[in-house]
Amino acid sequence: MNTLSLITIPAFDDNYLWLLHNGANAIVVDPGDAVPIQAKLKELNLKLEAILVTHHHADHVGGVDTLRNATGAHVYGPAFEVIPEPVQRVGSADTVSVLGIDFTVMEVPGHTSGHIAYFHKGSNLHPTPLLFCGDTLFSGGCGRLFEGTPAQMLKSLSALAALPEDTLVCCAHEYTLSNLKFALAVDGANADLIAYEAHCQAQRKSGIPTIPSRIGIEKKINPFLRSHTAGVMASVEQYNATAKAATDVFAALREWKNNFR
Ligand code: ZN
Ligand code: FE
């Protein structure tokens, strides 16, 4: 079998849809819009085998019905969210086998209460570990807490941070530069962050996505994976002096980001 290729498909203003294929068959993740997916399938002459959904928001499921009707693709999605039916509902530690590789499902509530992520630990067909995490972890940031609690999101992000350092982080939005602006306000003495911000500025100037990122990079630069570090804790204390416990520090950091311009 052929090794797998990963393609980033921009959609709307700042979404990324993900397509993985072996030259004949493909899967897509979070197809908020069917149009750019169908164009890519046609261009590469691919048959859509499956659709993986991370959560129920329209910019992640808007193209599901059209793609399923056109291709007969099998749809996987979270157990407890409203997703266009029929969908095979998957949850913690379930395995999704597509294109000859296995994804382990992780429940990562916070952005929505049923949000899931799909993790492939690496194999002959795709040696680099691969994470599709929707709107949970972004490069330099994390999703807003629309349905979940800070404690849930902190636990979800900690589980993602425990994945192998070389894991490709395939998140669903190009929010990196605005996230890094906030990150620098919080963790401005972090040399890795300063260097990464300069790198991402250059990427965007050339019109190149900053995504996928890597877990190892995010652990060095993302304040939401670093809310336990001395630098981030000291900054959060300036914002909210009453935040001492880990969950409270994380909650204060998220609230600070919500109000940051
Ligand atoms: Zn969302
Ligand atoms: Fe989204």
Condensed to tens digits (0 to 9), the pLDDT of residues 54-80 reads: 999 999 999 999 999 999 999 999 999
Distances (CA, A) of 92 to 2, 50, 85, 114, 159: 29, 19, 20, 11, 12
Per-residue pLDDT, 2: 72
Q: How far is the CA of 3 from the centre of ligand 2 (A)?
A: 29
Q: Which helix (H) or strand (E) holds 17?
A: strand 15-21
Ligand nearest to the CA of 57: 1
Instruction: Express each pLDDT in 75-105 by its tens digit.
Output: 999 999 999 999 999 999 999 999 999 999 9
Number of helices (H), then strands (E), in the chain: 9, 14
Q: Mean pLDDT for the chain?
A: 97
Confidence of residue 46 (pLDDT cuts 50, 70, 90): very high
Average pLDDT (219-235) is 98
* Alpha carbons 172 and 15: distance in angstroms, whole number: 6
When pLDDT is cut at 50, 70 and 90, the band that residue 1 belongs to is low
The pLDDT of residue 110 is 98
Residue 102 known to be catalytic:
no
User: Given 21, 30, 173, 187, which residue is catalytic?
Assistant: 173
Task: Report pTM.
Answer: 0.98
- Tell me, what's the pLDDT at 5? 98
**pLDDT tens column, 127-163:** 999 999 999 999 999 999 999 999 999 999 999 999 9
Ion ligand 2: protein residues whose beta carbon lies under 5 Å: 59, 135, 172
pLDDT at res. 250 = 98
pLDDT tens per residue, range 111-127: 999 999 999 999 999 99
Which residue, among 192, 208, 142, 139, has the nearest Cα to 167 in the 3D structure?
Answer: 139
Catalytic residue, candidates 56, 111, 115, 120? 111
Q: How far apart are CA 70 and CA 64, in angstroms?
A: 10
Distance CA 148, CA 80 (A): 13
pLDDT band at residue 4 using 50, 70 and 90 as cut-offs: very high
Q: How far apart are the C-alpha atoms of 200 and 175, rounded to whole Å?
A: 11
